[in-house]
Amino acid sequence: EYGDIFQRYDQQTFGAHFAEVAVDSASGEVRVRRMLAVCAAGRIINPKTARSQIIGGMTMGIGGALMEELVVDKRYGFFVNHDLAGYELPVHADVPHQEVIFLDEADPMSGPLKAKGIGELGISGAAAAVANAVYNATGVRVRHYPITLDKYLDRLPAMT
């Protein structure tokens, strides 16, 4: 029978994402150079699969921040890019060096294994880290994903 531990204690995972981007000063093209995720997720039982889970989420964050967009024809209500021919996804060349650091943590309240779930920890914050890196590089804040040239090119500072 389940106890009341979930009512008495918060049992979340915590993470921080960092991204470094390069923005071409002439074309405005954004390239992610490297990413880092630091995660506190209890005892990591299988480091290889846990790392892969986080890296997969970071890759999805790149796609969400820079290229993935579902286009709807508002006149007829259908999806314009309804297949992978018109829906942009990150490919190997778009994914930079990614590093994951797991903090050594054993939460005594999280169960007998002292482990927590990390399912969404890799994507939570990854796109925001990319967006903040674009802002730091350009000085232009884009508030709607994906961050595409049409949303910031006319606001880039003049080249000297």
153-157 CB contacts, 8 Å cutoff, 24+ apart: 153/28, 156/25, 156/28
Q: Is 49 exposed, middle or buried (0-12, 13-18, 19+ CB in 10 A)?
A: exposed
Q: Mark whether 120 is an active-site residue.
A: yes
158/8 Cα distance (integer angstroms): 55
Of the residues 29, 68, 88, 120, which is catalytic?
120
For the CA atoms of 19, 98, 33, 70, what is the dihedral angle to 10 degrees? -70
Residues catalogued as catalytic: 120
